Copies of this chain bind each other. A is one copy, B any other.
């Protein structure tokens, strides 16, 4: 009872190996009954095609690679999980690799995937990525951190942030601080523009009712918890009637760091300070109070990326990415502002 091959199946089914192969690959030109008989034998023998042999001949590996900066980041782990589910639905499997945000490692990983003959790569570029050029001829879809010149898929960060800030405006806030992401990051800048969109649009209201008070309050920071905390400290370190009554953070982790900062300064949330995050990671609903946040449609993004690689969906044009809408998830960190 050693390894059963395609010839065993062929012999037992009374057909040729070619026919069995055709059955395996859903080739249209096989009669119904022959197909049925062959499939019967396949099941009976518990035959499993050898992927190596298959891929050697056909140049198709049914493998797709995914390279992300850091699997520890809940946003990326959800992305990978979603991609895995989507790929599995099509008979594909996922090879994960993490670049740890290190361009050299990233380049190495991409090369590995190339030589593995994966059918496509989903890439979330590391932050110092620009130096790298991607191999041509292998379908690559850039996700989340879009890069000019490559077809990409992402959430609509800009509009998502705008929705979040408008949520604060609607509550009556007029001094809204913003914790931005690192300046060189594409999504960080998109998010910043969303904030500016909202502020600007508010300033244009005819009756001036939504006019923003004072200059924009922006603090640049990395996306992580500690950076959010110090950015929060920075924004809140001024007289009560000058400091923001609400802060929009570019990531949930920043927002949580900011909550910590407020807590340390004795500023109650949301009574004296509203906070909104961005991402919608599970953690957001586990804070006290629960964080209000703008949720990215990660599953949609992942599914679309897989679909594009499998040619189930036309790839986005270069420099014209596919964007998916975000959604405000109301928690307990937002409330109307107190009078000064």
Contact = CB atoms under 8 A, between A and B. Distances in A.
Interface stretch (A47-55, A122-130, A189-197): A47-55
Given A77-B77, A81-B72, A225-B286, A116 B93 contact: yes
A146 to B, nearest CB: 24
A81 B95 contact: no
Given A56-B56, A93-B97, A96-B94, A117 B84 contact: no
Tally of this chain's copies:
2
Nearest to A225: B286
Interface string A66-98: 000011101001101100110010000111111
B51 A117 contact: yes
B96 A84 contact: yes
Interface of A: 48-53, 55-56, 61, 63, 70-72, 74, 77-78, 80-81, 84-85, 88, 93-98, 109, 112, 114-117, 225, 253, 256-257, 259-260, 263, 282-283, 285-288
A323 to B, nearest CB: 24
The interface residues of chain A, by DSSP majority, are classed as helix
A71 B84 contact: yes
Contact of A282 (B61, B72, B84): B72
Contact of A259 (B257, B263, B288): B288
Contacts of A81: 70-72, 98
